[in-house]
Amino acid sequence: MRIFALLLTTVLLISCKNTSEEKKEVKAIATDKTVENNVSNQKDSLIYPEEKHFKSIRQVTFGGDNAEAYWSFDDKQLVFQSNYENWGVGCDQMFLMNADETFKDKQPPMVSTGKGRTTCAYFMPDNKHIVYASTHLKDEACPEVPLRNNGKYVWPVYDSFDIFVADLEGNITAQLTDEPGYDAEATVSPKGDKIVFTSDRSGDLELYTMNLDGTGVKQITDELGYDGGAFFSPDGSKLIFRSSRPKTDNEIKEYKDLLAKGLVQPTEMELYICNADGSELRQLTNLGNANWAPFFHPSGEKVLFSSNFEAERGFPFNLYLIDIDGKNLERVTHGETFDAFPVFSNDGKKLVFSSNRNNGGTRDTNLFIAEWQD
């Protein structure tokens, strides 16, 4: 459940807890690497001058909230979620696109049922099927989206989410989970052998892996807190994910009380990394505020993620790179509102992400594809 549209509400609700030293480190890195790239980047109006990693950038969608775009294994297509009313949906559904398409005056084909709410589609290794979570078995209508609980910003964790496999015509071909409670956030290993997902079947929101047919379920994490948004490393040996892990008695009580209502509070999250079997778990970031949407760099030695840790008022969210040993934190994007959900193509040449840039002052979140250069 990586609910992107709701995060725009957090900008007025998240306090700034980063240190001045961390700010200085990131800004110094950005400044040192900016000058030589200013001339070339200024030729592309969608690229801010400091964004040295983008050789070019192309806007893909032009309205609504569009995010969580994921590449097919052959990099020829992407699947993404959108709630764009002009495409006839009332809440997030899944859409398919070719990697070279743009949707300014046309609508992509929908590959989910159009019923309930869906989240987190991901291609299967055959490039002919996708896996995604949906609430449609419980109710074909869009579920209610609570934004606050006792004045605090929250995400819903729908107990009606289950994980399905569908072909590219939108036909469901398999149901992979049928446990009571929340099962969602499924992504597939680049090795093509495992799926990682989040479930509350244990009574807490933990990571699990399973085979592509839903068998061989194994619990990966077992510490109190919301573990989610997990991705495998390029070689399938590691997992990177976000977590909001309560520590104090008050935090623990608040977390448990919210979870009992099917809610989590995502305003403070850090990144964790572990082996694919759950061993050698360690915290990767300690930045404060919301650090989330991590994805491995093609080298497997860095992680790209979204954060608002530098923000004075909870926004903007920008993309950052960090080594998997926690060193060399570098700011990648320099927007004033929202950049998130970065996903590298399998060949490592392109990056798709969601952004509020070039939205004409609206609240639209669109997809962009950038040519990546290190």
- Give the domain CATH number at 26: 2.120.10.30
Q: Which portions of the chain are predicted below pLDDT 50?
A: 1-42
Residues 77, 97 contacting (CB under 8 angstroms): yes
Residues 153, 5 contacting (CB under 8 angstroms): no
Q: How many domains does the chain have?
A: 1
CA distances from 102 to 62, 84, 323 (A): 9, 15, 33
Categorise residue 249: left if φ over 0, alpha if ψ from -120 to 50, beta otherwise. Answer: alpha
Say which residues have a Cβ less than 8 Å from residue 374's Cβ, sequence separation at least 6: 53
Which tens digit of pLDDT belongs to each residue from 115-166?
A: 999 999 999 999 999 999 999 999 999 999 988 888 788 999 999 999 999 9
Domain that holds residue 266: 4-372
CA–CA distance, 121 with 131 (Å, rounded to integer): 5
CA–CA distance, 234 with 80 (Å, rounded to integer): 20
Which tens digit of pLDDT belongs to each residue from 216-263?
A: 999 999 999 999 999 999 999 999 999 999 999 999 999 999 999 999
